[in-house]
Amino acid sequence: MEDLLSIDIVNDLYWDPEDRERYQKTLERDRFVKDYEIEMKRKNARKLFVLVTATVLCDEKGTVETYQGIMRDITEHKRLERQLLQAQKMEAVGRLAGGIARATGKLYPSG
């Protein structure tokens, strides 16, 4: 519990402190967010990707009192997504190189 009370939310939790400001503005404007992606920091300072679904809880005057919601860690999903994208790029380069080699072979036969 003491660990939670001693953290600087903006600098210790958010990868980019401006993300928190954008997130809060969106929440206050729309009163909810669904699958809002934020880059955060783990305790060891490594990057963590999360999806946030949250609502704003207000008092009877409409003043924001608190946020209520959940965060889902999608770091592994993002890693696999990047890996797939890289593999697709490599496949496209291979196809292009193969197409050029075939076209070159037809234009300049050996022998």
**Residue 57: strand, helix, or coil:** strand
Helices (runs of H) and strands (runs of E) counted in the chain: 3, 3
Per-residue pLDDT of the chain (111 residues; tens, 9 = 90+): 566 667 777 777 889 989 999 998 999 899 999 999 999 998 888 999 999 999 999 999 988 889 899 999 999 999 999 999 999 999 988 888 888 877 776 555 555
DSSP letter for each residue of 7-67: --IIIIIBSSHHHHHHHHHHHHHHSEEEEEEEEEE-TTS-EEEEEEEEEEEE-TTS-EEEE
Neighbouring C-beta atoms of residue 49, cutoff 10 Å:
18
Q: What is the per-residue pLDDT for 111? A: 53
Q: What is the pTM of this model?
A: 0.65
Strand partners of residue 39:
49
d(CA 97, CA 102): 9
Q: What is the per-residue pLDDT for 70? A: 96
Q: What is the per-residue pLDDT for 104? A: 74
